[in-house]
Structure 1
Amino acid sequence: MTAPLPTSIRARKQVLIVDDVEDNRILLDRALRASGYATLHADGGRAALSIISANRPDIVLLDWMMPGFSGLETLRAIRELHPRTLLPVIMCTAVDEEMSVVTAMSEGANDYMLKPISLAILRARMSSHLDQRDALASATTEKQQAERRLGEQARQMFTAMGRDRSSGDRFTR
């Protein structure tokens, strides 16, 4: 018997793979599709921003070292429009320096993975970030619904109080 797929995979989440090396994109594409994800590809930062604007992926796997618009510049541009709670970004890079990790995380990366990437660990981290994002979205929706119900109850109460006062009834302690 196989274990059930995590919630984030069952919903067929869309992953944007951003890497200037085509072989890396193909490897990740095959592995993620086999795991039930839909994939989009970009060979650089500017292409990634266009794809994000047009397709709203659920998560981004972003290479750091790319010619032209670097992964860090791309991350900064993504964060100008999409907070980390709504669009998780995992930096996937060969840059193995403590300061690079700190910089990426402080600029808005949700996670940081070193190449060569362990596909099992990548899938686990993606699932975790997507589940967190979905839980936050659900909690936000529930909060908004509760606030609407509370507002409606308050309006009904004040309406009833207004009718009672207009009929001459008084509230006493």
Structure 2
Amino acid sequence: MEALKNKITNQGIVIGSEILKVDSFLNHQIDIKLLNEIGQEFKKRYSSSEITKILTVEASGIGIACIVAQYFNNIPVVFAKKNEATTMDTSVYEADVFSFTKNKNYKIRTSKKYIKKEDKILIIDDFLANGNAALGLIKIVRQAEANVVGVGIVIEKAFQNGRKCIEKEGVKVESLAIIKSLQDNKVVFK
């Protein structure tokens, strides 16, 4: 997706050889025009699939998932929470996830009320590095005995093993920008 690649090239900040900071347009400040293009692109890539819900992880995936949902006839967006809350149902699906960016383990949870056996779920996330968030979400969907239609990723770091891990689970992955490497403060696209 050229608009996304251009935004990454012009506004992304490379930190070392493994981290790309895109907070100026994707996950701190959000470029809504770009998000609409992202939503349209995911709709195009999953147009032949029946999807009843979109699932993501809080927090940076929520905005993206909500825009994507508009292009799938405003289907519900469900997000897995990283922290327990007094208002959270006690009946939950959960999975352990390690955050590459934060170097921290989380237990993500989704109320059993919001994912049903008959659901056909598209997982949406901002980044794919080692695949931990997506694998945790796949685990939650499978606990509900629902169907994972696919995983939609805005930015994939192909030099890490996330795609392989997800595809090993038999799940289709669609990434809008695939990065081959981050070197010499530059993004190299695949």
> Relative contact order, CA 8 A, sep 6+: which one is greater?
2
The structure whose residues are more often strand, as a share, is 2
The TM-score range, normalised by the shorter chain, is 0.3 to 0.5
TM-score, normalised via structure 2 length: 0.38
Structure with the greater alpha carbon radius of gyration: 1
TM-score, normalised via structure 1 length: 0.41
